[in-house]
Amino acid sequence: MKLAYIEPIGGASGDMLLGALVDTGGDPSVIASAAQSVLGKPVDVHIESVRRGAIVAKSVKFNIKLEEQKRTLKEIETLIEKSTLKGVVKQRTIAAFRNLVEAEARVHGEPIESIKLHEVGGDDCILDIVGFFSLTDAMRIRWFYCGTIPFGCGVVLGEQGALPEPPPAVVELLRGFSVRYIGEPHEMTTPTAAAIIKTICQPHIPPQIVIEQVGYGAGLRQKNVTGIPNVLRITVGRLYVDKEPFMWQMEANLDDAEPRVIAHALERILSSGASDAWSEPTYGKKGRLGVKLCALVTDDAIEQVEKAFFSETTTLGIRRHLVQRTVLERHSVSLHTKFGELSLKVGVSKNSIVNLSIEYETAKTLADALCVPLKTILSEGLIAAAEAGIFVGATTEALERLENRTSNHT
């Protein structure tokens, strides 16, 4: 599972986020393509390595005349929907601007429909947000975290007049995030960056991460008053996985599907790559008896399993959240019984057998072929396992001998 950890060391802005992503290996042509999709004309993206303090970082600029017109949320949504951006990029971009407009509406005490975004509604900021979401999607980054965000102090001048630093809308956007106030008399975190962070980031340090790339994005200021390098760092990597403890749990509530449809959907979800799938009884919002369809999915299987959910059920939406599990070390060995060969599944922890069971399909095949009750086959399999020294509480020595015997026989 690929993730990104954002550290606004000396500030956070849209171009700093883009620069850091490019520095980790992101393809600038993805940004250019996204920009052209929105504006309807070619956009040259200029990438430059610059120094901020002791750190070399990437600077990203759009070499095109950009309009700084005021736009309402509806106008921005129309602009994005008319583009050829991928669906997930459109959704995230619109969500970021909606978060921003809602924050502005709370600050000014006005309805959302009447809010017109000034600098943030201009082409430059729109392209920053569109470029960021397009690039993270192309890089297949699925999970985002953000560290402590810096705020400056004093007063800053904008098109609307004097505003305290940090701007009220930025403070509204970053409710729930960790921030620090430092002695920098200027804007440290822009509304554009705050909107992006609010939309996709978890407000804390990630769990254990295996670092794959690190990138630095440069801010416009050559240096900060406090000497903190004016850079933002993004670390891209994957969760540290020990026997796959992290998986996605996908869920959908259904109150209009008959049992045969549910059973068929579960089969399709499993065949689409889910590690496990099940249904739970539930009650819908109108008091109707329904089911909650659930699946455990690895990051690579999300797209195919989602397709199965939507194609095989009537759901209009799927919830997804990260779950952590503890997984035993697994072994599969062949057992010889008086009825024939059976497959035995064994769970091991710290060189001790914790769990074991006869694999259902092999037992069912023998039971059907010999016209013997399934419970007889299962019982005989556990007896054969015990005779071979494989039982709960035993060490793995007998298991290793049986595995070696099976391997040599093969």
Each residue's pLDDT, cut to its tens digit, for the chain (410 residues) gives: 688 999 999 999 999 999 999 999 999 999 999 999 998 989 999 999 999 999 999 999 998 776 667 888 899 999 999 999 999 999 999 999 999 999 988 888 888 887 878 666 578 889 999 999 999 999 989 889 999 999 999 887 766 677 898 989 999 999 999 999 998 998 999 999 999 999 999 888 876 788 999 999 999 998 888 899 999 999 999 876 555 567 899 999 998 888 899 999 999 999 999 999 999 999 877 778 899 999 999 888 899 999 999 999 999 999 998 888 888 888 878 888 888 888 888 988 888 999 999 998 889 989 998 999 999 999 999 999 999 899 999 888 887 776 655 544 44
pLDDT for the residue numbered 284? 78
The β-bridge relationship of strands 149-151 and 179-181 is parallel
Residue among 71, 9, 63 at smallest CA distance from 41: 63
pLDDT for the residue numbered 68? 65
Q: Residue 244: how many CB atoms within 10 A of its CB?
A: 13
- The residue behind tokens 């068929």 is 264
pLDDT for the residue numbered 266? 95
Residues 6+ apart with CB under 8 A from 361: 343
Residue among 248, 269, 156, 217 at smallest CA distance from 6: 217
pLDDT for the residue numbered 1? 63
Query: Whole-angstrom Cα distance, residue 369 to residue 77?
Result: 63
CATH match of 246-324 with 3.40.605.10 = no
Cα-based distances in Å from 210 to 23, 122, 136, 196, 321: 18, 38, 18, 24, 21
50: left (phi over 0), alpha (psi -120 to 50) or beta: beta
Helical (H) or strand (E) element with 281: strand 276-283
Task: Assign a CATH topology to domain 329-409.
Answer: Ubiquitin-like (UB roll) (3.10.20)
Q: Residue 253: how many CB atoms within 10 A of its CB?
A: 17
Positions of E strands within 126-259: 143-146, 149-151, 155-158, 161-164, 179-181, 201-202, 209-218, 231-239, 246-254
Q: Please state the φ and ψ torsions of residue 253, each to the nearest 5 degrees.
A: -90, 135
Query: Whole-angstrom Cα distance, residue 318 to residue 405?
Result: 47
The domain segmentation of the chain, as residue ranges, is 2-239, 246-324, 329-409
pLDDT for the residue numbered 409? 46
pLDDT for the residue numbered 358? 92
Q: Residue 55: how many CB atoms within 10 A of its CB?
A: 15
Query: Whole-angstrom Cα distance, residue 317 to residue 153?
Result: 43
pLDDT for the residue numbered 397? 84
pLDDT for the residue numbered 408? 47
The pTM is what? 0.63
Tell me how far the alpha carbon of residue 358 is from its chain's centroid: 36
